[in-house]
Amino acid sequence: ARSDDMIVSSGYNIAAPEVENALLMHHAVAECAVVGAPDADRGMIVKAYIVPASGQGDSALARSLQDHVKATIAPYKYPRAGEFVPALPK
């Protein structure tokens, strides 16, 4: 991972592409982008911008995606913030 793809959260190095790949393995995710967002307690947190396959996202889907990432890669790498968007900027 390039250094700008690395999110340092509470001292953990988290590669954005690794989180994106885990999210893309979920059937409800069409596209996603993962970035570091400033956080007072952790320095940075993992934030995901998600284009839902159905076009709709809600809090239940957000929780399901968080649980999916925890189970797929590692519990500390899950997106602590997320936003459902209609499309990603290209």
Helix, strand or coil, per DSSP, at residue 68: helix
C-alpha 18: how far from chain center? 9
Q: List own/partner pairs for 29-32 with CB under 8 A and 24 or more apart.
A: 29/53, 29/65, 31/87, 31/88, 32/88
Can you give the pLDDT of all 90 residues of the chain as single tens digits?
455 689 999 999 999 999 999 999 999 999 999 999 999 999 999 999 999 999 999 999 999 999 999 999 999 999 999 999 999 988
Average pLDDT, rounded, for the chain: 94
Helix, strand or coil, per DSSP, at residue 13: strand
Rg over CA atoms, the chain: 12
**pLDDT of amino acid 3:** 53
- Stretch (H or E) spanning 20: helix 16-24
Short-list 39, 29, 32, CA closest to 16: 32
Calculate what percentage of the chain has a pLDDT beyond 70.
Answer: 96
pTM: 0.93
